Amino acid sequence: MSDEFDAVLIGAGHNTLAAAVHMAARGWRVGVFEHAEAPGGAVKTGEYTLSGYRHDWAAMNLSLFAGSAFFKAYADELTGHGLEFAPIDKPFASAFPDGRWCGVSTDVEATTARIAALSEKDAERWNELLAEFGREIPHLGRLLGGSMKIHSFAYFMFKVFTERGAGGLLRMLRFLLSSPRRYLGETFESPEVRAMLAAWGMHLDFAPDIAGGAIFPYLEGMAGQALGMVIGKGGADTVVNAMVETIRAKGGVVECNAAVARVIKDGGQATGVELADGRIIKARKAVVAGVAPSALLRLTGGMEPAFDDALGKFVHAPGTMMIHLALSDLPDWKASDELKGFAYVHLAPSLDQMARTYQQALAGLLPDEPILVVGQPTVFDPSRAPEGKHVLWLQVRMAPGEIKGDAKGEITATDWASAAEPFAERALDILEGYAPGTRDKILARRIVSPADLEADNPNLVGGDQVCGSHHISQNFLFRPVRGHADGSTPTKNLYLTGAAVWPGAGTGAGSGFLLARTLAGK
């Protein structure tokens, strides 16, 4: 049995789905084939604990999607197919062991007052940065949201030079190359303000001392203040479901439980795929693989030695553990009841602790004090749980994909099947220290280890939720391979997309939309 499409897309992650939407809108017949039971990859939602409690499997924050060029182009169709956001005016906060806390909300006066309680000087600096944000974001948006080729990068530098002069260009380049510790240390005096912002770097594999990570604490801080945050109404899968329905409405196919076994090549050109069940699916114009680089090697059997070697050396970030909790009530935060009103509460008390945790995970050790990202989505979207009840989205960072030992010397297991439970207890102990009594409110829980994440979605190698380190040597022009940041490969008509391709991780659908515009036209 065979079928034929203009484009065959491997995997139903949000980048491949975005590419399929745009291709279908330009008249291409598209077929998306996903190995799992449901589309979405890391962007999906389910009742993982109890009936009526909806948990986001991995991704929760949809701000990048809501602000993306893709959503701007297809907002009417997507909302027509059920996409709905829940806006958030209190995006994030951090609590500290001594009972202090700080948080960012869209109320500038409230945020400034919280920061001023820690440092008057930092409050002034915060408002200065916010005033400058409108002038900075066009440059950064042009860099982070556009195609990544040498001429594109050169154009970015030219625009900064023409508007800011040589000094302004050098300041921008220094900022882009700075570590979170260097930037935050030069900008703020309060260790708590620095830690509150540095926690965002950990979301993208940028520990405090990693060069190139300064931009992420800056952007998350300023965007959270200026714009707030959005999550999906009813769950993050609202974006996936809307894209699937849009594709089908345009005559495309999205098929789950349809694993791709190999890419078919003929004369150095990709002509289709073979599914695990033996079906041959032909592609007239393109095969787009939304997979990790190592999987592309397996699917193709190799392409060109230098390219294959680079894909084989692609470096993944440390892993993540997810703990999904169904709760009778929200945590009672020791620092302040106000923390119940924030979407994210980071438990990452200092830059030194974050750096230590990262290095321990990188060395294969279970960290003695992992960083916790505590998501409270039902504060802003009560539809995710029965009336009066809540779900907690607990992300444990960092965790080794392969366990070599325990930094605390307590857990002897070196396989995730045995280590997941005690490591989760360590994380819950930390949460209990900041919010006593939370354990008594747990109605049910689901622990998802790094190994579980990879088993569910092979793109999350070792539980790496960002599909590859974003350190400078593997970012910008070098993501995933120098000369192929546009998703191209040495095989004609074969393309790579997803978080491993520029502009990288996040829910912005950037790599998929950029590729689709290149192939099918703007």
pLDDT of res. 1: 42
pLDDT, mean over the chain:
96
Residue 367 per-residue DSSP state: P
Q: Taking residues 335-341, what's their average pLDDT?
A: 98
Verify that 367 and 402 share a domain, yes or no.
yes
Is residue 95 a part of any domain in this protein? no
Verify that 355 and 437 share a domain, yes or no.
yes
Verify that 439 and 485 share a domain, yes or no.
no
Output the domain CATH number for residue 31: 3.50.50.60
Verify that 376 and 323 share a domain, yes or no.
yes
Judge if the upstream peptide bond of residue 480 is cis by omega within 30 degrees of 0. Answer: yes
* pLDDT top residue among 204 and 451: 451
Output the domain CATH number for residue 351: 3.90.660
Is residue 174 a part of any domain in this protein? yes
- Which of 203, 224, 245 delimits the end of a domain? 224
Report pLDDT digits (tens) over 82-115. Answer: 999 999 999 999 999 999 999 999 999 999 999 9
Verify that 257 and 298 share a domain, yes or no.
yes
pLDDT of res. 2: 57
- Which of 224, 244, 261 delimits the end of a domain? 224
Cα 14 to Cα 9, 63, 85, 223, 236: the distances in Å are 12, 14, 16, 22, 11
Report pLDDT digits (tens) over 266-308. Answer: 999 999 999 999 999 999 999 999 999 999 999 999 999 999 9
Report pLDDT digits (tens) over 371-384. Answer: 999 999 999 999 99
Verify that 283 and 354 share a domain, yes or no.
no
Report pLDDT digits (tens) over 152-178. Answer: 778 788 888 888 899 988 988 999 999
Residue 206 in this model has a pLDDT that exceeds 50: yes
Verify that 334 and 432 share a domain, yes or no.
yes
Structural domain containing residue 154: 109-224
* pLDDT top residue among 3 and 395: 395
- Which of 224, 254, 277 delimits the end of a domain? 224
Report pLDDT digits (tens) over 492-517. Answer: 999 999 999 999 999 999 999 999 99
Is residue 462 a part of any domain in this protein? no
Is residue 96 a part of any domain in this protein? no
pLDDT of res. 147: 80
Verify that 492 and 450 share a domain, yes or no.
no
> Is residue 91 within 8 Å of residue 344, measured between CB atoms?
yes
Verify that 270 and 354 share a domain, yes or no.
no
Q: Residue 148 — very low, low, confident or very high, per pLDDT cuts 50/70/90?
A: confident
Verify that 129 and 13 share a domain, yes or no.
no
Split into its structural domains, the chain has a count of 3
Verify that 209 and 282 share a domain, yes or no.
no
* Mean pLDDT lowest among 58-72, 125-139, 215-229: 125-139
Is residue 89 a part of any domain in this protein? no
Verify that 449 and 370 share a domain, yes or no.
yes
Q: Taking residues 440-452, what's their average pLDDT?
A: 98
pLDDT of res. 126: 98
Is residue 382 a part of any domain in this protein? yes
Is residue 494 a part of any domain in this protein? yes
Beta bridge partners of 88: 229
Query: What's the CA gap between 109 and 124, in Å, rounded?
Result: 11
> Is residue 247 within 8 Å of residue 21, measured between CB atoms?
yes
Is residue 90 a part of any domain in this protein? no
Residue 146 in this model has a pLDDT that exceeds 90: no
DSSP calls for 72-128: HHHHHHHHHTT--EEEES--EEEE-TTS-EEEE-S-HHHHHHHHHTT-HHHHHHHHH
> Is residue 324 within 8 Å of residue 85, measured between CB atoms?
no
Q: Taking residues 214-227, what's their average pLDDT?
A: 96
* Mean pLDDT lowest among 132-141, 240-249, 381-390, 442-451: 132-141
